[in-house]
């Protein structure tokens, strides 16, 4: 069984991946890919992971867990998503660590599905936007309490990736930048589904649709019907042109209150993020999805 698990990160797609995949439920089913509803697996999988971490006998065996999760018994692959798999937003920096609960939870996941092929899907985001957005999703805490004294240099996606690969050594890890998602959404969906690059899939322009005006998205669809892109680079170029012309202004600027970070720290975050993107893109132990520019 192939287990494809999208683990967030927080403040990236806000379950947009699930919403786009649902549009392809029949297509996925035809390929033997199960897409259970989140209510079917989030609680039961969390319980199983917790049992393993605490050294307790699991309430659900792998077989009974899959039986409870899978809507189709003959599935060869299951796609699941839970941005709170590591923790809720309040605990992202608990004890001064960046997703400090990740190691134990991933190790437990690997034990539960030891006989399966596990794929982890992760969207990363510029910490200059990620930190304020994550704090906005937390509740009842001061910013200082939320950050738990973490060193800004320790907010590292590269380090998190290293820990994922260490926790599940045979995992197939796919990473992309949330900032690129509108451009590469078809590839993200196919990666999650585990289908071939040319497989017909619906919802590839869902995120672009959130950026463009209604007029813009209709013109984009018409343009692509009349002028199918001859390459991926051309597709990206066309999307960029339509965003430049038809983007809704409010969709291009994210408004959030800066709870307590200086401009210097925010600039440092962004600079470090660009360095990490370059490092991740050059790794051979990670599949990194990024726009193809001519």
Where residue 13 falls among pLDDT bands split at 50, 70, 90?
Answer: confident
Query: What global pTM score does this model have?
Result: 0.95
Neighbour order of strands in the sheet with 172-177: 33-34, 77-81, 2-6, 117-124, 172-177, 287-289
Task: Kindly report whether the peptide bond that precedes residue 9 is cis, defined as omega within 30 degrees of 0.
Answer: yes
Tens of pLDDT, residues 72-98: 888 999 999 999 999 999 999 999 999
Residue 9 covered by a domain: yes
Q: What mean pLDDT is reported for the chain? A: 93
Tens of pLDDT, residues 175-207: 999 999 999 999 999 999 999 888 889 999 999
Residue 42 covered by a domain: yes
Residue 232 covered by a domain: no
Where residue 60 falls among pLDDT bands split at 50, 70, 90?
Answer: confident
Average pLDDT over every residue of 284-289: 97
Give the number of other Cβ atoms within 10 Å of residue 19's Cβ.
12
Residue 224 covered by a domain: no
Residue 240 covered by a domain: no
How many structural domains are present in the chain?
1
Average pLDDT over every residue of 158-171: 97
Residue 82 covered by a domain: yes
Beta bridge partners of 172: 119
Q: What local confidence, expressed as pLDDT, does residue 40 receive?
A: 87
CATH number where 149 lies? 3.40.50
Distances (CA, A) of 169 to 82, 119, 154, 162, 280: 21, 11, 22, 10, 17
Average pLDDT over every residue of 206-211: 94
Residue 254 covered by a domain: no
Give residue 263's domain range. Answer: 2-200+259-289
Report angle CA 292, 166, 90 to the nearest 5 degrees.
80
Give the number of other Cβ atoms within 10 Å of residue 41's Cβ.
21
Residue 37 covered by a domain: yes
Pairwise CA distance, residues 232 & 294, whole Å? 8
């Amino acid at each position: 069984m192939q287990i494809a698990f999208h683990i967030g990160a927080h403040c990236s797609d806000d379950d947009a991946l699930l919403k786009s995949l649902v549009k392809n439920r029949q297509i996925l089913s035809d390929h033997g890919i199960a897409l259970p509803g989140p209510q079917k697996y989030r609680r039961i999988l969390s319980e199983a992971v917790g049992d393993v971490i605490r050294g307790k006998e699991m309430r659900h065996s792998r077989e009974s867990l899959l039986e409870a999760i899978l809507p189709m018994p003959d599935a060869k692959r299951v796609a699941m998503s839970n941005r709170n798999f590591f923790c809720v937003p309040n605990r992202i920096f608990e004890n001064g660590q960046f997703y400090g609960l990740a190691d134990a939870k991933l190790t437990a996941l690997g034990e539960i599905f030891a006989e399966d092929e596990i794929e982890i899907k992760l969207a990363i985001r510029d910490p200059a936007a990620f930190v304020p957005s994550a704090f906005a999703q937390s509740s009842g805490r001061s910013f200082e309490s939320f950050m738990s004294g973490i060193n800004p240099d320790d907010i590292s996606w590269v380090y998190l990736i290293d820990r994922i690969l260490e926790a599940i050594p045979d995992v197939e890890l796919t990473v992309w930048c949330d900032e690129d998602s509108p451009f590469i959404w078809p590839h993200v969906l196919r990666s999650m589904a585990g289908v071939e690059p040319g497989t017909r899939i619906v919802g590839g322009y869902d995120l672009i649709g959130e950026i463009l005006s209604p007029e813009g998205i209709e013109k984009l669809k018409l343009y692509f019907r009349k002028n199918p892109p001859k390459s991926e680079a051309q597709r990206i170029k066309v999307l960029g042109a339509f965003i430049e012309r038809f983007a809704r202004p409010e969709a291009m600027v994210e408004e959030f209150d800066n709870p307590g970070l200086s401009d210097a720290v925010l600039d440092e975050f962004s600079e470090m993020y660009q360095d990490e993107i370059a490092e991740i893109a050059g790794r051979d132990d990670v599949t990194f999805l990024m726009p193809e520019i001519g």
